[in-house]
Amino acid sequence: MSTFFSARPHRALSKGFYKDPDFDYEVRCLLGAVAYGAAEAGEVLATVDGVGDGDHEHWFRAWHDLGSRVRAAAEQEAAAGRTVTASTAYLRAATYLAVAVNAASGLQSEDQLTSTFRLQRSSWEGFVDTTDQIIERVSIPWEQGTMPGWFLRPSTDPEPRRTLVMVNGSDGATSGLWHNGAAGALARGYNVLLFDGPGQQSMLFERGIGFRPDWESVLAPVVDLLLGRSDVDPARLAVYGLSQGGYWVPRALAYEHRFAAAVADPGVVDVAASWNAHIPSSLMSLFRAGKKEAFDRDMSLGMKFSSSTARTWAFRARPYGETGYFDTLAEVHRYTLTIDEMSGITTPLLVTDPEDEQFWPGQSEQLAAGASGPTELARFTAADGANFHCQPLARQLTDARMFGWLDSVLA
């Protein structure tokens, strides 16, 4: 019998959806959200079908339009009293609009950033208002003000439960934590606390409060709030850090010892490494030599050749509160775990270590080796479809391994 078809293998996982690494990674994250109802595969694929590589204007508009359409449908369903359909649509709208918020960094102007964020946040709040999940809005006292939070419970039973505090990354939407652990935690009987910390979401876009490296000062009042609740078991309190949260959580654990278990997804010991990797070595030599004027001058010249790179830098730099190139990079370099801080981590710690980690390769192993408490390194591979930063296409597998470990530690 003759063979009519070539035996070439499919390469969808390895070749990806776009040559542009940011576009490609975003699509992987969106498809990973499908498992928990935060996206629809058909909506995602139909949207990217019409957007070319590197077309930032079209990319922003496509996700803004999709999110707006799905949100409008959610409002119609809510007005008709069909809350199940409304809540799922609000959640998907929040997911798509979160892509548009980040995509605003590639636009000629940031004029649409704040309005897009508010549309995204109100979609998440629409989900909170219409879902049958038990979600309570909370205000977390912090320094001279408060941080907004959401306390989720698996049932109305008032018994003290295991509770998971979720710490987001540098630019992730709070709604994104739903499919990156919160839904999985609720299904397994955990309480969950989500919140915006300094430099994140509403704290940045609406209050102008930027990042800070000392996250023990952020998590301490979170723990205080939770320990004041009768439905939280103080002996079974866990914390999870996603993306750059994989720095903030270990940093806090060096000083805050009231957590019974912690997860860093992945481990991050030097945030600046992801910045340094994209700066030419000649410029990094100027930076390390402390030649601020020369560094700023040469960086400024380089940015003139790529307006999209300049806009991305401005977007990434905003939460650090500095304006100059040298000063911004110097500030980012403060987000580093010292050997003493890593050795001060005594809390049992699970550290994810995905193959092809593109932002902080090798740092999960460094964190696991440096922590002095019981530590486990969870490796994820491309063979399981679980490669790349935070395993975007394998969130159910991540949940299975993470909660399996947490269940055993908190038992």
Which ranges of the chain have pLDDT less than 70? Answer: 1-7, 106, 108
- Residue 7 has a pLDDT of 66
CATH topology of domain 134-271+335-410: Rossmann fold (3.40.50)
Residue 233 is predicted with a pLDDT of: 98
Q: How far is CA 262 from CA 43, 44, 72, 98, 163, in A?
A: 35, 33, 39, 26, 11
Q: Which helix (H) or strand (E) holds 227?
A: helix 216-227
What pLDDT is stored for residue 5 in this prediction?
Answer: 56
Q: Taking the domain 17-125, which CATH number applies?
A: 1.20.1440.110
pLDDT given for residue 4 in this prediction: 56
Q: If we measure between CA atoms, which residue out of 120, 18, 126, 24 comes closest to residue 64?
A: 120
Q: What is residue 206's predicted lDDT score, i.e. its pLDDT?
A: 93
Q: Which residues contact 245 (CB under 8 A, 6 or more apart)?
A: 166, 167, 168, 169, 264, 265
Phi, psi of 141 (to 5 degrees): -60, 130
Token output for 376: 């486990």
Query: SS3 breakdown of the chain: % helix, strand, coil, rounded to 5?
Result: 50, 15, 35
**Whole-number Cα distances in Å, 267 to 128, 173, 290:** 30, 20, 29
Tell me whether domains 17-125 and 134-271+335-410 share a fold.
no
Domain ranges within the chain, ordered by starting residue: 17-125, 134-271+335-410, 273-332
DSSP 270: B
The pair of three-digit structure tokens given for residue 411, joined into one six-digit string: 């038992």
Tell me the C-alpha distance between 163 and 180, whole Å.
Answer: 16
**So what's the pLDDT on residue 106?**
67
Is-contact 237 263, C-beta < 8 A?
no
- The vertex-407 CA angle with 405 and 408, nearest 5°, equals 65
Nearest by Cα to 62 from 116, 127, 12: 116
Q: Which residues of 186-224 are buried (b: 16+ CB within 10 A; e: fewer)?
A: beeebbbbbbbbbbbbebbbeeebbbbbebbebbeebbe
Question: Is the CB of residue 220 less than 8 Å from the CB of residue 142?
Answer: no
